[in-house]
Structure formats: structure tokens, C-alpha cells
Amino acid sequence: MRFLYMLTCLLLYNHSKAQHTGAKQQAMAGTSLTSFDVYAASNSIAASAFVKETKLGLFFSNSFLFPEINSLNLSITQAIKHGNFAYTINYFGFSHYNTSSIGFGYANQFGENLGLGLRFNYHRISIIEHGSKSAISFDLGLLYSFNEKVRLSISIRNPAKQQIGKDYKETLPTNFIIGASFHPNSKIDLAWQFEKDLQLPLRAILGINYRLHSIISLRTGISIHPLLLSGGLGLSIKKTQLDISSTWDTHLGYSPQISISYVISKKKQPE
């Protein structure tokens, strides 16, 4: 009975927030829309336009210390001469209930400041008593970098409100997200975000990243609806980035996360 209750809470919780991939982003409570890293492939397709390397990232998250329920993500940003490709694979759940998705996107810069992106996603939801259902959705993104200090981004996820299979009236979540970040100097990043699921209250998020040393960063964040506190640290060593974090939901408890990314190659500039 306790497990059924926790699973119900988990599904509601997972539905209540837009997807935030990467332990850095989780440590900052989910402020992910203006982050120029490999996990932009999953978080903000427009931000992928500003990534200057071909990167691979792996992300693992456990939900509220429940050993059976975990999230896995593989994100790849492929830097080409004109724009970037983005590839994502996601899994959440366990044998009796799980969701998975595969995404493919493209993003490009227009001038030095504007990035636009489009991502298509194939979703599959499996429930042991009811079999599997699938759906296809798409995301749109825009990011404008005013200068080296200020960025603004907008993301629209599943604007077509795709349904889960023909026999279900339930639709995939539709999210409208706006985020901004301020980088006053080389040590501090401030980010905030507002998210609106069509069926849920507005969610507000604030995150802070502080570079304690050239290879060490400390992070924290807070969000409301649901109320969530977070923190973590990052280690950057040559081509490898390692991040760990934990979030604390006031009702459901702790969720630890870890991610690692690696730079495969630098972007080739167009001739």
C-alpha cells in the first residue's frame, strides 16, 4: 500500500514539472533554459545552437531514495558547420510502469545573438496491466543573448497537445517556459525560470551557480509549486564535467542525481 501511494505521488510529481536534465540544472532547482551545455539537447533546444563542441552526456536520477524508480538520460550535441544536431534518450520508472522517449532536434544561430531550435520526440508509456501506448510531439525554442551577461529564452513543449494513443483522452503535458540568466562576472551565474503546464499552477524557479575555483562550482536553488530546495557541486577537468546534486521536496523527500559529460571534438567553423 505504501509503495502504491508513493508511486501515485511520483507520477503526479513527474507530471507537475517540465523535464530538467543534468545534475547542474537539478542543483539549481531546474533552471535549465539558458545553459550552454550538452544537456541543452534535452532542456532547451534553442540553447543547443550556442554549444561549440560535440558532446556526450549521461544523467542518472533516483526519485526520493526509492531504489526501484530511477531516471536515465543520454544527451548528445553534434556540432556541425551550420548549426547543431541534438539527440536524446530518456527513461523513467520501473518494470510495472515506465515512460521512455527518443528525441531528435536541430538548432542554429542567426547572427551572434539569436538561437532557434526545433525538436521532435517519440514517447512510449508502458503500464503492465494496460500494455503500451505511444505518441509523437515536438518542441520549439528561442534564445536571445543580449550580451555576455544577459540571456533570455522561451521554450514551448508539445504545443499541439498530442494524445497518448487513440483510446486515451489523456494528453502529453504541454509546457510554456520562459527563463533568463545574469552573469555579472566570471564567478557567478544567476538564473530564474517560470513554467506553466496547462493543467497546473505556475511554477517559479531561482538558481545560483558560484565558481569557487577553476575546476569547482557550488550551486543551489529553490522552486515553488511544488516547493523544492536543491544543491550540488561540479568538477571540471579538461574535457570532462562531473556534477552531483540533490533535491528535497517538502512532502516526498530527497532525490539524488549525478551526471557526467565529455567533449568529443570542437566545432568546425564555416569557411
Per-residue pLDDT of the chain (271 residues; tens, 9 = 90+): 444 444 444 444 444 455 789 999 999 999 999 999 999 999 999 999 999 999 999 999 998 888 878 899 999 999 998 899 999 999 988 877 788 899 999 999 999 999 999 999 998 888 777 777 888 999 999 999 999 999 999 999 999 888 776 665 678 889 999 999 999 999 999 999 999 988 888 999 999 999 999 899 999 999 998 889 999 999 999 999 999 999 998 888 899 999 999 999 887 665 5
Q: DSSP characters for 91-133?
A: EEE-SSEEEEEEEEEEEEEETTTEEEEEEEEEEEEEETTTEEE
Enter the DSSP assignment of 47: G
**Cell numbers representing residue 57 in the block:** 552526456
What the block records as the C-alpha cell of 135 is: 505518441
Count of all residues that appear for the chain in the document: 271
Q: What are 119's three cell numbers?
A: 525538436
pLDDT at 29: 94
Helix (H, G, I), strand (E, B) or coil at 195: strand
Contact 120, 105 (CB under 8 A): yes
Phi, psi of 245 (to 5 degrees): -160, 170
Instruction: Round to whole Å and give the CA distance between 198 and 126.
Output: 24
* Cα–Cα nearest to 43, from 159, 201, 154: 154
* Cβ count within 10 A of residue 230: 26
Cis peptide before 173 (omega within 30 of 0): no
* Grid cell listed for 128: 503492465
CA distance 106 to 33: 16
| Dist CA 224 CA 228 (whole Å) | 6
**Distance between CA atoms of residues 253 and 117, nearest Å:** 35
DSSP 220-270: EEEEETTTEEEEEEEEEETTEEEEEEEEEETTTEEEEEEEEEEEEEEPPPP
pTM beyond 0.85, yes or no = yes
Taking the C-alpha atoms of residue 112 and residue 38, their distance in angstroms, rounded to an integer, is: 20
